[in-house]
A and B are shown apart, each in its own frame.
Chain A
């Protein structure tokens, strides 16, 4: 496996809380994609962070990338019920292939 055990987990939080999901990787990576997958649908890209960026923000989302520790994180500020989904990180090297992690299931309770 390419991934640490922390990449497969389920989180349950209350609406309004902040949450952070982590992933680690072992391959040469130039960019990390973060996708979310809603139940019954295909994954969709939510944020992409390149190796020359330490942090990237998009609305309530914040991604970080630490190339020295080969890890990335996705934080959601003030989570809403509609943030309930499975979140995948997917590192990419110099090919067109992504390596999808096992995903983090996030449940936001009202």
Chain B
């Protein structure tokens, strides 16, 4: 069953707290992505991972970092979250960059 999972689905944090968003996929895709989606701005690429420990900045990496120690898992970390990081975060995976399979999203609110 081809699936991308994200945990948690909803998260409320206070400004300055650390945030960990987790993503998993069961398709053995080597490429994984983190996006954020805000009204009127579409999907913006934060980071792309080409495989384990092979990560590259996307268009808006400032304030974020990622970790990929296993092919099936990709984490997004916000150190000292800011209110402007309130957003919906999507993880996706793909085989060699073709069709991207998206997770259900995590709605993060930073107060």
Are B31 and A43 neighbours in the complex by a CB distance under 8 Å? Answer: no
Are A97 and B58 neighbours in the complex by a CB distance under 8 Å? Answer: yes
Q: Is the interface of B mostly helix, strand, loop or mixed?
A: strand
- Once the chains are docked, how many angstroms separate the CA of A95 from the CA of B34? 16
Q: Is the interface of A mostly helix, strand, loop or mixed?
A: loop
User: Which A residues are CB-close (under 8 A) to B41?
Assistant: 102
B48 on interface, CB distance cutoff 8 Å: yes
Instruction: Point out residues on B near A: beta carbons under 8 Å.
Output: 4, 31, 35, 40-45, 48, 50, 58, 90, 92, 94, 96-100, 102-105
28 contacts between A and B (CB under 8 A): A8-B40, A33-B99, A35-B100, A40-B104, A40-B105, A41-B104, A41-B105, A42-B4, A42-B90, A42-B92, A43-B43, A43-B100, A43-B102, A44-B102, A45-B99, A88-B42, A88-B43, A95-B97, A96-B50, A96-B94, A96-B96, A96-B97, A97-B45, A97-B48, A97-B58, A100-B44, A102-B40, A103-B42
- Once the chains are docked, how many angstroms separate the CA of A8 from the CA of B50? 30
- Once the chains are docked, how many angstroms separate the CA of A33 from the CA of B96? 14
A101 on interface, CB distance cutoff 8 Å: yes
Q: How far is the CB of A37 from chain B (nearest CB, A)?
A: 8
- Once the chains are docked, how many angstroms separate the CA of A95 from the CA of B97? 7
